[in-house]
């Protein structure tokens, strides 16, 4: 279902959600980290460090740094691919799913507050 909002409303929504995340959430993720997290949760697995780097157009070390931070927060986990030891599989966690569920609820709430 398409959403019909003006540019100013889209920016206001992004601002309001970002502000609420900074104020209310324990995990204050960078745009790169949130993109990695959303990619892993919204697109079908498997996800690898190499695949995420290619998809986002960044280096593998950049993905590794993002995963290090999110691993400490328990939003994602990693394991070595048993079939190909060169690959690192990125996996979803319960904590990550709950974080995104709360974030989605926050976005919906802030969208309802947008001036019309």
Domain around 100: 7-112
Tens digits of pLDDT across the chain (116 residues) = 777 889 999 999 999 999 998 888 667 899 999 999 999 999 999 999 999 999 999 999 999 999 999 999 999 999 998 888 888 899 999 999 999 999 999 999 999 988 87
DSSP for 65-93 reads HHHHHHHHTTSEEEEE-SS-TT-EEEEE-
Burial label, 13 (beta-carbon count in 10 A; 0-12, 13-18, 19+): middle
Q: In this predicted structure, what is the pLDDT of residue 115?
A: 81
Q: In this predicted structure, what is the pLDDT of residue 87?
A: 85
Domain count, the chain: 1
The answer as to whether 1 is a domain residue is no
The answer as to whether 2 is a domain residue is no
């Amino acid at each position: 279902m398409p959403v019909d909002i003006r540019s100013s409303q889209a920016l206001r929504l992004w601002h309001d959600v970002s502000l609420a995340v900074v104020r209310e959430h324990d995990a204050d993720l960078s745009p790169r980290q949130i993109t990695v997290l959303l990619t892993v949760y919204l697109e079908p697995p498997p996800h690898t460090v190499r695949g995420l780097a290619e998809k986002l157009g960044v280096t593998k070390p950049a993905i590794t740094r993002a995963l290090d931070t999110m691993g400490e927060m328990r939003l994602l986990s990693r394991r070595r691919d048993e079939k190909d030891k060169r690959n690192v599989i990125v996996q979803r966690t319960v904590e990550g799913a709950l974080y995104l569920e709360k974030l989605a609820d926050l976005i919906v709430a802030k969208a309802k507050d947008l001036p019309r």
